[in-house]
Structure 1
Amino acid sequence: MGLLVQQLKIKKLFTHQVEALQLIRRGEQVLVATPTASGKSLIYNLAVLEKLIQNPKAKALYLFPLKALAQDQFKNLGPMLRGLAPRKMTAAIYDGDTSAYRRKQIKARPPEILFSNPDMLHSAILPYHESWAALFENLQFIVLDEVHTYRGIFGSHMNQVIRRLKRLCALYGSRPQFILSSATIDNPEAFGQSLIEEKIKIVTANGAPRAGQYFLFLNPDASPNFSAAQLFVECLKHGFRTIAFTQSRKITELIHLWVTQLSPTLAQKVSSYRAGFMPEERRVIEKRLADGDLLGVVSTSALEMGIDIGYLDICLLVGYPGTIINTWQRGGRVGR
């Protein structure tokens, strides 16, 4: 592991990363529940890469609740794979945005690391397991990112999908290890064990530094949506990179429209972001945010989780997100 960290030019690991990696190396099922931007993805990437170096036939399955999150993590993994040259490792995304031709290629020769989501696993992989035999026979790790989203009906469905996945792995002679990551939750051990139905070790003591954050609660006299648009414009005019989260697509587009009307000079520096955009459009917006080309974005919950959108100064929550977890997730987009 030390040689791998050195080869990837990682100077130091945080204490919670070391703790989690030690548990994974012991073969434990692990759930890491630390705040946003604490380096959770590095934990499972290092564990998987170490295993792939030791066993070239090994496979890993990464499951994300959002396609945008899978795209972002795939992008972040790329430099790490290139940094391990001459050892060549492959990774691919298999989701609703993947072309039919590319899907056929991936199925014929599964990569070492396969990125997907619960829907695709349920509808396009598990029912056709004979075609995925090379994956299931050598599956060493199953990574579940942002597992706090798997609650309620969605969580019940995910539990059933995991049951089917484990049953098929047993059929093909593998017993993969689970690595789960989550935002901070009150009952991580009970939650993780109910999801995968196995004993699980928990890592919650965050060793990553955090910038200061300030919370301001506003009860505007006028429309909260229009007030948010006005505040958004003022934030940008004062040089603060800003993200606003809304509760619906309609409000997202409405606030974006008001912002461009209130300050036409900012029209090219702000964007809306929501489900319904073409995949290419979403990738462009994400890249412009990460590169600093966009000063602000108005989004639905689509940008809530884990996606690297660069450094932001201010987060506006237009309405209560519905749960404390979602509130912290959205607020965690700033002060990284």
Structure 2
Amino acid sequence: MIRKQGTVAEYVTALRESDRFGPQVVAYRRFARQKGHGRPIEQHILPELIDLLAGLGITKLYSHQNQAIKLIQQKRDVLVATPTASGKSLIYNLPVFQELLQNSQARALYLFPLKALARNQLKTVRQWGALLPTHFADINMSPAAVYDGDTTGYQRKKIRDNLPAILITNPDMLHLSLLPYHHLWGPFFANLTHIVLDEVHTYRGIFGSHMAWVVRRLKRICSLYGSEPVFILSSATIGNPEELGKNLLSGPVKVITASGAPQPPRNILLLNPLESAPAAATLLLEAAIYRKLRTIVYTQSRKLTELITLWCETRLKENKDRIASYRAGFLPEDRRRIEQQLVNGELLGVISTSALELGIDIGGLDICLLVGYPGSMMATWQRAGRVGRNGRECLIVLIGQEDALDQNFMRHPEDFFNRSIEPVVLDPENENIAGAHLLCASAEIPLTRDEDLLRDNSCMSFLARMTQRGKILQSADGNTWFSARKYPQRTVNLRGTGNIFLIYDTKNHSLLGEIDGYRACRECHEGAVYLHMAKSWGCSCKYFKY
């Protein structure tokens, strides 16, 4: 039975004084509450929006919000890199809605790296729209719509025919469905005033290099239709925000890193368990659930997520329905159900991979258990930022695993607390990536020698080699290039995840989830035992040709 609500302070005291876990605590730090720095909403915000914010309980803007909104209204590209729960979504929603109220033809594009983030923001935008019923009703326009892989063909056509004020999508859909078919989206691109790139710290490595080129192609399409939208980028704290913004936008960006948002009291504890880290996490989660403390456990693999859930359900017995696993590979409806259960308090604990690392609204959490070092300080603080969002005291526990980096932090905790945030690295000038997007760009609009996209000498050399290989066709005068294929975008995978396989329950003839090709060979081969939502399934492989 779960007892009455406990507190984080009591949990920390019990943990440190425990005969079992007390000797395993190698470091503990407590950071006091930090007050926010805000000021009343200024006159440059429309009265309707001031009333809207008041209805949401917002009467002041933090200093970084005020600074960013002023720059956006001056048509400056902005990158805001502040900690989680610092109100970054307000920074782009407020100026976008101000533009929508002043210009009924205006449109905005919101890009999120994950579908769940898009759906989460859709709820926020619709809430704002509901508080401005006369505006959107008068012009017969929907405030927002999500256009992603879960959107049906019928809904996609409906969205194109009746454009919402804000189109919410992801880089993949922009690359595959909007840019190649820009002629179907002409009114949208012609009236585009704001483009939001959220969680830009995820645009690193290959994905980030692709994203830089998708943005270049997007700018090119906007120019074709006569628009020059403002770019608003938001990010977790990173080591090189200005460099990242410049790489993504191919131009200068104003960076804001000083946050004026308050911070709750935070307890950070490093624990080096005598048993395995997953076993320790199971016991710590059980103790948190016993005290009704809402807890998230981060693991580094899908299998470990399922195992900890299974072990904890066994220990919790009648309260096993108060926890759930969460990871990629679940069906969209299952993920949304778990997210909703977290928000409304039905679940007290969730065991997750990095799938819940980003800014999905999952309500107020109290404790974050990290089963092993996540691999970077950026990911560590991003995950830690999921707790304490309601202003209450919170706890972050890093449970050391046996690998060398974890044990380095366990033996030298000051290295952990003093380590700086890593930079985000990408390479848009990689020939394979640049060449693929030059081909895509030439299919969308023929390339011409005098355009901005080709002013870089390396791009001209890439183009020359692709012309020699016959992938791109050159005009007789040598000043224009055309794609040899109609839709080359279909062969360019922004994330490089490979083929996706479906997982079926053959007994009930229902879809369970999905898995990428690499994991399918390791986890779902013939005769394998696959863990899904803390249940074991025997695998039998069936291959179908379409």
How high is the TM-score relative to the length of structure 2? 0.61
In the alignment, structure 1 residue 8 sits paired with structure 2 residue 53:
yes
SS in 2 for 1:97: coil
The separation in 2 between residues aligned to 1:319 and 1:308, in whole angstroms, is 24
Question: Which residue in the other structure is 1:191 paired with?
Answer: 244
5 Å matches for 1:1-336?
Answer: 1-3=45-47, 4-9=49-54, 10-88=58-136, 89-336=142-389
TM-fit CA distance, 1:82:
0.9
The separation in 1 between residues aligned to 2:309 and 2:237, in whole angstroms, is 31
Deviates more, 1:268-277 or 1:7-16: 7-16
TM-fit CA distance, 1:25:
0.7
Report the AA paired with residue 382 of structure 2: Q
Q: Which runs of 5+ in 1 are unaligned?
A: none
Higher helix fraction (1 or 2): 1
Deviates more, 1:81-90 or 1:119-128: 81-90
SS in 2 for 1:333: coil
The separation in 1 between residues aligned to 2:174 and 2:347, in whole angstroms, is 34
Larger of the two Rg values belongs to structure: 2
SS in 1 for 2:318: helix
Residues 108, 131 of structure 1: 8 Å contact kept: no
TM-fit CA distance, 1:224:
1.2
The separation in 1 between residues aligned to 2:131 and 2:60, in whole angstroms, is 17
The separation in 2 between residues aligned to 1:69 and 1:84, in whole angstroms, is 23
Describe the superposition over 1:280-321 as per-residue Cα deviations: whole angstroms up to 9, x where unpaired: 111111111111111010011111111111111100111111
The separation in 1 between residues aligned to 2:84 and 2:52, in whole angstroms, is 26
TM-fit CA distance, 1:223:
1.7
Over the aligned positions, Cα root-mean-square deviation in angstroms equals 1.1
Deviates more, 1:187-196 or 1:153-162: 187-196
The separation in 2 between residues aligned to 1:7 and 1:68, in whole angstroms, is 25
SS in 1 for 2:179: helix
SS in 2 for 1:127: coil
TM-fit CA distance, 1:74:
0.9
SS in 2 for 1:8: helix
Distance 1:55 1:32, change over 3 A: same
TM-fit CA distance, 1:5:
2.0
Residues 8, 84 of structure 1: 8 Å contact kept: no
Residues 46, 98 of structure 2: 8 Å contact kept: no
Report the AA paired with residue 219 of structure 1: N
TM-fit CA distance, 1:2:
4.5
How high is the TM-score relative to the length of structure 1? 0.98
The separation in 2 between residues aligned to 1:93 and 1:283, in whole angstroms, is 15
Distance 1:225 1:305, change over 3 A: same
Residues 125, 143 of structure 2: 8 Å contact kept: no
The separation in 2 between residues aligned to 1:277 and 1:245, in whole angstroms, is 17
Report the AA paired with residue 255 of structure 2: I
Residues 328, 355 of structure 2: 8 Å contact kept: yes
The separation in 2 between residues aligned to 1:248 and 1:55, in whole angstroms, is 47
Q: Alignment identity in percent? A: 57
Moved segments of 4+, more than 6 Å: none
Describe the superposition over 1:144-190 as per-residue Cα deviations: whole angstroms up to 9, x where unpaired: 00001101111100001111111111111111110000011122111
The separation in 1 between residues aligned to 2:272 and 2:318, in whole angstroms, is 28
Report the AA paired with residue 183 of structure 2: E
Q: Which runs of 5+ in 2 are unaligned?
A: 1-44, 137-141, 390-546
The separation in 2 between residues aligned to 1:8 and 1:331, in whole angstroms, is 28
Describe the superposition over 1:169-226 as per-residue Cα deviations: whole angstroms up to 9, x where unpaired: 1111111110000011122111111111121111111111110111111121212112
The separation in 2 between residues aligned to 1:321 and 1:181, in whole angstroms, is 22
SS in 2 for 1:190: helix
SS in 2 for 1:266: helix
